[in-house]
Amino acid sequence: MTETIHITVENELGEVRLLEIPDGIDLSLMEVLKASDYDILATCGGMALCATCHIQVVEGMDVLAPRSDAELDMLDTLPDADDRSRLACQIRLKPALDGLKIRIFANN
């Protein structure tokens, strides 16, 4: 059975959009955001090395896998990161993420 994963995304202007992603596409959240036309540079290609896919989790932190040491090290380099920060490339889509709410940051 195919489930749909709903993710609410707020951009840097406060505009909110609901993404509906079919389960089973095996992508990272970063790849889904890029495919949804968000301005995510992802210059490292998802290796947790550039931090341009930084997001803030508004709701659903508890359903995400814990941050790896590599992700934490990269987030530590960001002045605007806090304990709700994640690298979107390190989040694999799965049905448990249904209902996740995130905020993305402007690339500058």
Residue 94's Cβ-count burial label (10 Å; 0-12, 13-18, 19+) is middle
Could you say which of 27, 50, 64, 72 contacts ligand FES (CB under 6 A)? 50
What does the DSSP 8-state code read for residue 103? E
Closest contact distance (angstroms) between CB of 82 and ligand FES is 17
51 contacts ligand FES (rule: CB under 6 A): yes
SS3 content of the chain, % helix, strand, coil (to 5): 20, 30, 50
27 contacts ligand FES (rule: CB under 6 A): no
Q: Using CB under 6 A, list all residues that contact ligand FES.
A: 30, 42, 44, 46, 48-53, 74, 87, 89
